[in-house]
Structure 1
Amino acid sequence: MDIHTALQIGDYHINHCEDFLVTKKIGSDKILCAVMDGCSTAMESHFASTMIGKILRKISVEKSYQELYETNNSSNIEKDLKSVLKDLFREMISIKNQLMLDEKELLTTLILLLYNKKENEGIVLCIGDGLICINGKITEFERDNKPDYLAYHLKEDFENWYENQTQKVFFSHLEDISIATDGISTFSPVKKTGHDEKINPIDYLLLDKTSINSEEMLSIKLKKLEHYYGMKPTDDLAIIRITK
């Protein structure tokens, strides 16, 4: 199994890439992947997406240690996902209070993927907007550019909030799965080319298997989109693609 990642600042952004990504093992059987997209109209939104990524890494390490000492490890993938989110919820509240952060400093979308290699099953939850591709099937979550950010709900009861999450997809028999921020839908021509060839950037990045055996597959594809097809994303972009 190979995990390919790419993080690129959008052509319309200057100072910071407001997206972030993380991939981390949880014990020997589980993999956590996440992409975040900070709200451009909020305050220092690169901080929010990066912070959540760092928290998820911490949670993954903690749960890995827990598995070493627990004999009855869960094989319920949704239960595992819910546990990760509950810890994230708690950590965000703690950091918000410690640093006296404004809600606008915490606005970021989150697509969280959890995969159990032993059971060969997984789950993806999208909080806000973004795009997922599971074994060739593309699903885009779009909320008219008004994502329902996690930070809006930190004062709510976690159990009630979780029960209202509908952007959830279960999968099994992983072959080729991707999660991406909505920057993947913003590819536009940035320079003229010496040919008339056309390409669909989403299909090329998430479905096409060219350079599939290279660790730099997504970087290679992004460079070809820019230098051969003259296209770049105008918004920041984070992609994680897992292939077998």
Structure 2
Amino acid sequence: MRVYTTLQMGVYHTHHCEDYLFTDTLSDNTHLFVVMDGCSAGTDSQFATALSARIFRKLAREFNYKSFLEKQTPSLKTLQRQLLQRFFEELKAMKNHLQLQLEEMLHTLLMAIVNTDTGEAEIICLGDGLIYIDGQYHEFDQDNRPDYPAYHLQKDFDSWYAAQQQLLSVKGFRDLSLCSDGIFSFAAFDRGEYAAAYNIPDYLLRDTNASETTFMLNRKVIEIQEQAGLKPMDDLAVIRIMLPD
């Protein structure tokens, strides 16, 4: 498995990048990938996404240790539900412990749990985001009114989870990406003249070669800037997972 990531602060964000990404291992062949997009209209969104990433880090360690002790791993769908439920519990506990206001906790959530042996994946998008799977794009656009997870911390989890519709079950993938909607925000940042033109999602999520380093996505963002004069206006977070043929 090859994993490429990039995290970029958008031109319109002068102090903090409010997006965040996280990757970790749940068992020998099961991995967790998370992309989050903070709410610019909220308060300290960079804190909200970083806090949630720390919660996922804690949970990944717990699930990994449990898998080691029990010598088995639940199905990906079961893992998805269990991880989200524990995430909601931990986020709610942190809200109470730190006396956080709702506007301090707002961010979207794209989460994929992947079996690297089989190429199976269970993906959920809470809010906006883009998912790329082997040549096909799945865009979730909630018209700038994302349904943030923090809105639902007080609800019955089982009822909330059963109502989710932005879900994808994938079998046998080879190339999968999770992206915040900043991938659609590339625009000219100066008045220079540039010869190159890029389809941004295709260039970042489709094109590659076997010799690429782990910095592939960062290199491509710089190349788009230097050759086409384009930068992301909004913050950008991308995780790209490639499995061997």
TM-score, scaled to structure 1: 0.96
The corresponding residue for 1:101 is: 100
The corresponding residue for 1:16 is: 16
| Cα distance change, pair 235–211 in 1 and its aligned pair in 2 (3 A) | farther
| Cα distance change, pair 125–103 in 1 and its aligned pair in 2 (3 A) | same
Answer whether contact 1:211 1:217 (CA < 8 A) is retained: no
1:153-175 C-alpha deviation (Å, 9 max, x unpaired): 00000000101110001111121
Stretch of structure 1 that moved more, 32-41 or 111-120: 111-120
Question: How do residues 1-244 of structure 1 correspond to structure 2 at under 5 angstroms?
Answer: 1-74=1-74, 76-209=75-208, 213-244=212-243
Deviation at 1:195, TM superposition (A): 4.0
| Cα distance change, pair 216–88 in 1 and its aligned pair in 2 (3 A) | same
Alpha-carbon distance between aligned partners in 2 of 1:40 and 1:32, rounded to the nearest angstrom = 26
Report the number of matched residues.
Answer: 243
| Cα distance change, pair 11–195 in 1 and its aligned pair in 2 (3 A) | closer
Answer whether contact 1:193 1:229 (CA < 8 A) is retained: no
Amino acid of the structure 2 residue aligned with 1:109: T
Alpha-carbon distance between aligned partners in 2 of 1:237 and 1:167, rounded to the nearest angstrom = 21
Alpha-carbon distance between aligned partners in 2 of 1:53 and 1:178, rounded to the nearest angstrom = 18
Per the alignment, in what secondary structure is the counterpart of residue 34 of structure 1? strand
Alpha-carbon distance between aligned partners in 2 of 1:18 and 1:222, rounded to the nearest angstrom = 18
| Cα distance change, pair 212–234 in 1 and its aligned pair in 2 (3 A) | farther
1:11-52 C-alpha deviation (Å, 9 max, x unpaired): 011110000000101121111000001100011111111111
1:160-217 C-alpha deviation (Å, 9 max, x unpaired): 0101110001111121100010100100011345443321111110111157621110
Answer whether contact 1:34 1:111 (CA < 8 A) is retained: yes
Q: Which runs of 5+ in 1 are unaligned?
A: none
TM-score, scaled to structure 2: 0.96
Stretch of structure 1 that moved more, 233-242 or 166-175: 166-175
Per the alignment, in what secondary structure is the counterpart of residue 108 of structure 2? strand
Alpha-carbon distance between aligned partners in 1 of 2:140 and 2:107, rounded to the nearest angstrom = 15
* CA root-mean-square deviation: 1.3
Amino acid of the structure 2 residue aligned with 1:78: K
Amino acid of the structure 2 residue aligned with 1:137: Q
Per the alignment, in what secondary structure is the counterpart of residue 214 of structure 2? coil
Alpha-carbon distance between aligned partners in 1 of 2:198 and 2:118, rounded to the nearest angstrom = 36
Per the alignment, in what secondary structure is the counterpart of residue 131 of structure 1? strand
Answer whether contact 1:183 1:233 (CA < 8 A) is retained: yes
| Cα distance change, pair 40–212 in 1 and its aligned pair in 2 (3 A) | farther
Per the alignment, in what secondary structure is the counterpart of residue 113 of structure 1? strand
Alpha-carbon distance between aligned partners in 2 of 1:183 and 1:212, rounded to the nearest angstrom = 27
Answer whether contact 1:178 1:241 (CA < 8 A) is retained: yes
> Equivalent pairs: percent with the same residue?
38
